[in-house]
Structure 1
Amino acid sequence: MIAELNRMVDVIEERLEEEIDVPSIATSLGTTEYHLRRMFSSLAGMPLSEYVRRRRMTVAAAGITAGDHMLGVAVRFGYGSEEAFGRAFRAVHGVSPADVRRNGGPLLSQPKIRFRLTVEGSNTMKTRIVERPAFRLVGHAARVPLVHRGVNPHIQAHIAAFPAAEHQRLKGLGDTEPTGLLQVSDDVDPDYAEGSELTYLHGVALDAATAAPEDLDVIEVPEGSWAVFRTSGPYPEALQETWAATASDWFPSNPWRLRPGPSIVAVLERADDFSTATTELWMPVERQ
């Protein structure tokens, strides 16, 4: 996966002044756009679209300081007017093209990214591959913003709004793996951008043949393979570290890639105050 990401970066660099067709790049690299975007954002710490924008404005800044015609630079990088180009330029550099031409800066340059895999071998990941027939996720869903680190207050408020009896009711409905009350993230932005919206469902897993109560939301899950990562420790920090390690350690070292679908967290054990927990992270995968 590291080699594919670096080849994609090279292609992007060659096409900064063209429309960048990420699906075609992914196909040429023998992978999928979904997996490529998710791995890039997880490892680079920014969405692929943001990296492209920063690189374009970095190269454009060189043209501005060299005295190139403003509209010509704008058109080269796909903008139909100096005004639109100026807004994009200011969003990256914090100053207008005119300021840079007049003063030479300041500029915030985005270097070309190179990915490297560092193999330490000091930590092992407790992982299993599970083949599952179709099933359904049933519970209470809400649209919430994505938060990478710490407790997501929007999810916390969503769960806290239900009485204890509703949690027990949900728990009693579950009849298949993953077991117990589940934390489900669906419709996630492939770039995995902080603040982008996702569908969060607090619920359980039901067999595909089991009818869901009419007052609950349902996510239908097709049959497929799942990578299941077990982790224990401070919550949610240990879980979030495991999530990040799937991109930096596990996927680059194994013949699997992410496929579209919900990510599921099953809480197996937890402290009364939820300060620590043992969880299983279920991620939908397919063979490379």
Structure 2
Amino acid sequence: MDNPLQRFKGLLSYIEANLRGTITLEMLARESGFSCFQIIRMFKKICGYSPSDYIRRRKILMSNADLFANREIADIARAYGFENERSYLRAFRSVYGVSPTKLINSKGEIVLFEPWKIVNMKEYSNSLVTEPLIKYFPGTTYTGEEKYYNSKDNHAEAKLLADEVSQAKRGIFTGIRMPCGSGTFSHRYISCWEDNPNHNTTHLLPDGKYGIFNYIGFHSLDEVGAHQLRRLMYVVIDSWAKKKNIRWKESFIEQVDISSLNYDYCEVRIMVPC
């Protein structure tokens, strides 16, 4: 089977080829080999829209040519797989804020919603990684539990992350990794999450620029260990970081949205000091 990046590109191509018709989440799953959960999360993370919203916007944009050619709205609705004229009009208003008639009469600009082009992602070991963005963050103090681990043991370190996240009931989990100076492979790990009963360590994250990228894995979170992230960083550095002046350091911050996790999917947001 093709790698995840090629499969997602194929999914976007499938949507474009079938805009004149019905496209369901189950159809996308069968076509791509991704699960429905994976598709929903990927579209939100990569494109910024749910699959249904993305498809609806593409359908409405493509239907504009028929609309301005004075075709009947009922015919346009059927041609693009809408249940009826009313559902087409509702979708049109959700995209443009007005009815087709008002938009045509106003002679206003048509906002384009082009097909998504993947130009800022790389495939890596059954996962995807996004191009880093450079952002400035003010100094922030994190309070949480502090633990030590041997980062040479990738499995144990991955389990530590998964176990820590599993204790977070909701929201965003934040982990701060840094060398502790007691050995070549030893690190300290500060974990912070909502309703954490053990706030016994405070760490100041200094203000400055950070390179931020997202890791999208098609596996459970407990496979994201220190070695996995270290190899991932080399991919990021070789592809983008040198020209963005991001230098790999042993200290970095990882954040996990609890709602993004599944047995076959995880998202980790990585912040690296520049």
Normalising by structure 1, report the TM-score: 0.48
Normalising by structure 2, report the TM-score: 0.50
